[in-house]
Structure 1
Amino acid sequence: MTTEQSVVSALTYNGTPTAAGGFDGEYLMRYMVLNEPEKKILSLICVLTGPVTFLENILVLVVIGTTDNLRKRPTYLFIGSLAAADVLASSFFPIIFLDFHLFKRSDSPEIYLFKLGGVTMAFTGSVGSLLLTSMDRYLCIYQAPRYKSLMTCRRALFGIVALWITTVVISFLPIFGWRCWSASLCSLLFPYVAPLYIGCWVGLMLIVLFLIVGAYALILWKAHQHEAAMEAPTAGRSTMGRHARMRVDIHLAQTLGLILMILVLCWVPSLSIMLIDVSRKLTINEQRAFAFCGTLCLVNSAVNPLLYALRCRKLRRALVNLLRRVCGVCCRGKPVCVCLQNKDGDVKKYAETVSESLDKQNPG
């Protein structure tokens, strides 16, 4: 396209004249930069990761929702909020991503910004839920005597509701008017989105990540002190109970620390490219790289429930009990069910032992 043609096309949108610097009929094409091999790779990642992420997080929500002992504890309410955000991410991101890059759908600005708002809401809610979880763990370790009075279920629910209201408002600001009205002033990562909005959103995410990192740094430092204390010879039942509580806190801190590390590894590449987009014009290669980095955020949503199942004993025990109940309903005493129960005998016994220890240190 020549310079003259570019100027003319910049004055038209869907075949009708617009103000200078408006959107032409080919405006969205500048964002569809992937070649065929890249489309196939990203499509494969989305098709494989999306459904798996959805099913994993639905399972986490079901386990928490059907276990009375879990849904009454703030920690697992925050984990449920995180799982809900990841369910939304696995629903919105793959469909919208493939629809845009693979099928080249050209929506109106309002429809596109509404779809983008859904993705932004999911990922913002995910990061925000991790912030609530880290604050919960911080209070549990540094304010242990007052933890139950400080972090009640009512306050946890209030925090979750406040988080999601704030998330919805922030995510849909572009559709309410905070957008670019000229193609030359728009981001090269997201159509119709103003770079200032991206800069503010990235800044907010960096602040949240900084707070999470700070909380976990203090938690892990405390965990190191606990480990040193446990190595010293001790006696007495009360001391053993205190050390049992320390082990639980350390284990959960390490679990959430691992989640945080994966979150940072998955998000830093995307946030870095978004900051570059705010400061200068991106190259096509940088636009392509961002498409791959975006899928890392979906991978993070897929990894989170695996960490819960493998490292969170309370959730693992609840999952085993849920599967046993489902098996009992489906099999009605058939041999396959008896076989499964026999195989799970040791797991159940171990889970009950862990549960008793947790119930002693967290009654009710």
Structure 2
Amino acid sequence: MNATAVNQSDCPEVKVPVPIFFTIGVVSLAENLLVVVAVIHNRNLHAPMYCFICSLAAFNTIASLTKTWETLMIVFADVGQLVKTGSSEQKMDDVMDSLLCMSFVGSIFSFLAIAVDRYITIFHALRYHNIMTMRRTGAILGVIWTTCGVSAMLMVRFFHSNFIMICFVIFFVVSLVIICFLYVYMFMLARIHARKIAALPISNGGNSRHQRLRGNSMRGALTLTILFGAFVVCWTPFFIHLIIIMVCPMNPYCECYRSLFQLHVVLLISHALIDPAIYAFRIAELRRTFRKMLLCSDWRRYS
């Protein structure tokens, strides 16, 4: 992924060594493949929330694989094996940029699906399994992946259009607003419900059990809020870069920010590296599954 204008300011462009890109790409690729394999093979993880997490990991895998392959192409170009300005190389670069954008769109949709799933879990716990069936989960995932595939093809066709960049930025901002509103609303309602439950008699076993279930669901929602926060931190600088390209492409102050483009890309691809670490730290079932997989112990009972 390249900047689309020449830096004409006094701020030198910050260069990130190729090995850093390659290392982040390879490690994040291995981590997210581990998540996908864990969810597929562990029957305890065959639930809607984990399916959406698996989808998120798959999109992160696409981002990691894309950036790793792009890094290899840069290495080949530097040693004279590829021509950076060749038509086929340029088309390949556009395809990889489009796949990276596809992973972004898929991540947003996955976060939105996870947020809705957590809302239903917390506030419609008794009807959850009737609402979020595996068939509906599969249909939602089908819609997400189809939409992302169409988006990727449009990106390949109209990658250099400002209209595409504008749509991309608008989608990012609107999605952030919707997901943030949903999480804030969810936590506010949870706080009100917790106060009502605390006011009930302690001897009521059903209310105590319901409070424990709600507490577990809220911890899950908190985990996913941390995931979403990491996503915002990692992707926002890149979108500020896109806005600057459209709003003030030749302004020296704007170009000083654009000189940090490679750092923005490092932060962007680091998101795929951070997510699995959050899963392992916050979600006990995934943590146990990772341990079993890495130690190759008692793995058959999950399959």
TM interval, short-chain normalised: 0.7 to 0.9
Deviations 1:295-332 (A, max 9, x none): 212111111111111111222233334445x1368xxx
**Alignment partner of 1:156 out of 123, 137, 140:** 137
Please point out which of 14, 39, 48 is paired with 1:38: 14
Between stretches 226-235 and 150-159, larger displacement belongs to 226-235
* 8 Å CA contact retained: 1:220, 1:254: no
Matched, 1:170 2:151: yes
Q: 1:116 aligns with which of 91, 97, 106?
A: 97
- Structure 1 residues 47-95: Cα deviation after superposition (integer angstroms, max 9, x where no partner): 3321121111111111111111212x11110000000001111110243
Match of 1:273 in 2: 241
Task: Give the equivalent residue in structure 2 for 1:263.
Answer: 231
The within-5 A match list for 1:82-101 is 82-96=56-70, 99-100=73-74
Query: In 2 relative to 1, CA 52–225 (structure 1 residues): closer, same or farther, beyond 3 Å?
Result: farther
Name the residue aligned to 2:38. 63
Do the aligned partners of 2:237 and 2:264 also contact (CA within 8 Å) in 1?
Answer: yes
Matches of 1:209 and 1:156, distance apart in 2:
22
Pick from 299, 314, 327: which aligns with 2:297? 327
Q: Distance in 2 between matches of 1:273 and 1:114?
A: 20
Partner amino acid, structure 1, of 2:297: C
CA–CA distance in structure 2, aligned partners of residues 43 and 147 of structure 1: 47
Matched residue of 2:249: which SS? coil
Deviations 1:21-41 (A, max 9, x none): xxxxxxx897586x99933x3
**Residue among 209, 215, 222 paired with 2:176:** 209
Compute the displacement of 1:142 (Å). 2.6
- Alpha-carbon deviation of 1:226? 5.0
Cα distance in 2, alignment partners of residues 123 and 306 from structure 1: 19
CA distance 1:169–1:201, change in 2 (3 Å): same
C-alpha contact (below 8 Å) 2:14/2:262 kept by paired residues: no
Distance 2:287 2:196 in 1: 28
1:285 and 2:256 aligned: yes
Give the letter aligned to residue 128 of structure 1. Answer: F
RMSD (CA atoms): 2.8
Distance 1:29 1:175 in 2: 17
Give the TM-score taking structure 1 as reference length: 0.70
130 and 107 in structure 1: CA distance in 2 versus 1, 3 angstrom threshold: farther
In structure 2, what is the equivalent of residue 9 of structure 1?
A: none
Q: Contact 2:63–2:272 at 8 Å: present in 1 too? A: yes
SS of residue in 2 equivalent to 1:117:
helix
Question: Identity across aligned pairs (percent)?
Answer: 25
Change (3 A) 1:37 1:113: closer
Per the alignment, do residues 149 and 328 of structure 1 end up closer, same or farther by CA in structure 2, a change over 3 Å counting?
Answer: closer
Shift of 1:149: 1.4
Extract unaligned runs of 5+ from structure 1.
1-27, 180-192, 330-364
Q: Distance between the aligned counterparts of 2:65 and 2:154, measured in 1?
A: 21
Residue of structure 2 equivalent to 1:247: 215
CA contact (8 A) 2:227 2:275 kept: yes
Is the contact between residue 100 and residue 106 of structure 1 (CA under 8 Å) also seen in structure 2? no
Could you state the TM-score of these two structures normalised by the residue count of structure 2? 0.83
Give the aligned partner of residue 194 of structure 1: 161
- The structure with higher relative contact order (CA 8 Å, sep 6+) is 2
Pair 1:32–1:89, CA change in 2 (3 A): farther
Deviation at 1:229, TM superposition (A): 5.3
How many positions carry a matched residue from both structures?
284
**Pair 1:51-2:26 in alignment:** yes
SS of residue in 2 equivalent to 1:38:
coil
The alpha-carbon distance between structure 1 residues 30 and 309, as it changes in their structure 2 partners (threshold 3 A), is closer
Shift of 1:238: 1.5
Bigger-Rg structure (1/2) = 1
Aligned to 1:361: none
